Amino acid sequence: MTQPKTTSRSLALDIFRGMTVCFMIIVNTPGSETFTYSPLRHAAWHGFTPTDLVFPSFLFAVGNALSFAMKKFESMGQGEVLQKIFKRTLLIFLLGFLMYWFPFFHEQPDGHWALRPFSHTRIFGVLERIALCYCFAALLIYYTSPRTVYTTAWVLLLGYWAALLFFPVPGADPYSMTGNAGFRLDKWLLGENHMYHGEGVAFEPEGILSTLPAIVNVIAGYFTGVFVSRKGRTYEGLTQLLLWGTALVAVAVAWNLVFPINKKLWTSSFVLLTVGIDLILLSFLIYFIDFKEKTRWTPFFSVFGKNPLFIYLLSELFIVVLFTIPAGQNENTAEWINRVGFQAVFPGPFGSLLFALSYMMFCWCVGKWLDAKKIYIRV
């Protein structure tokens, strides 16, 4: 059998990133939270669903991109490299903060509009975690040896486990929502008003302590990108990716017996599980794209991969706009569109899924227009 062509950049890695953004939009914007298929929901607490794979896969893709950025850093001075890393970190973090503050104004009971107070604005979130994980991983990889990076990754995973075990809320389950050490730290440093309240209580799923193991998802993505560039698109490399992915899944399932797989706590077993699944998925993508040269379907996902951050922000901000604009008594525009359009024709979960798919296609069309105009928004 002939080996696939080797280039400096893997199309499979780019398509992996695009597929991640595509699925992220679908799971984040259902037509109705009530009528959503269970695989498109996050696990209630312990456990795992396909939706739980989206965010860690995005971090994994950030690591993939970092493997190519590091090659460029080799030709730059230290000052220029640090400027790029910190500038990108601050911009992504700021965009995340502004996204949660948006639309900046709210209607008061007397009918007047007022600026949403900073005192009740969420500080940490998805983009903020991406920024911090990218920054830590980039600095670690730039300044230390691969062996040190490997060691640090395991220290983060095991250290986080120890922190949850030994520093819970006194008398509480160390793996409970409001009893874990991360909750204690976030409540102390951030305050409840700056935390996420979507669970019915103040709890930050992208909190400070749980960001530490998430860094490992980026590190794993970086080393995977390096490996794929060197030998991942050979049969030997493909076999190694599959074996490593399977081994990590097996270790994660075993670790789950004492350290539950939990996306909202971002447990270390969750990290190994998601990295393992990402390696397996990437192996299949490499096989079909690079080995079998089945690429006719790839342009669709490459649209998302070319402007991932912009399309993600668009998907989050525009749905907020739809939820903000009233369209009737006790109903907003998004709910109205779902009710009179999708639920009227396909009531239940299928209608909700069609809403999500249609919204994803709207975002794709914007991305396709940008691609046609050769507009690529980078941070």
Report whether 127 contacts 208 (CB < 8 A): no
CB within 8 Å of 104: residues ≥ 6 apart: 115, 116
CB-based burial label for 242 (10 Å; 0-12, 13-18, 19+): middle
Q: 105 has which bridge partners? A: 115
DSSP track, 37-92? -GGGS--SSSS--GGGGHHHHHHHHHHHHHHHHHHHHTTS-HHHHHHHHHHHHHHH
- Of 46-50, 64-68, 107-111, 134-138, least confident by mean pLDDT is 107-111
Report whether 66 contacts 222 (CB < 8 A): yes
- Between vectors from CA 57 to CA 51 and to CA 60, what angle results, nearest 5°? 165
d(CA 246, CA 278): 10
Residue 255: both structure tokens together: 């670790």
Average pLDDT, the chain: 90
Residue ranges of the domains in the chain?
Answer: 11-105+119-372
Q: Which pLDDT does position 5 carry in this prediction?
A: 45
Q: Which pLDDT does position 206 carry in this prediction?
A: 93
Report whether 3 contacts 310 (CB < 8 A): no
On the question of pLDDT at 332 being above 90, the answer is no
DSSP letter assigned to residue 217: H
Q: Which pLDDT does position 2 carry in this prediction?
A: 44
d(CA 333, CA 366): 20
On the question of pLDDT at 1 being above 50, the answer is no
Q: Which pLDDT does position 108 carry in this prediction?
A: 66
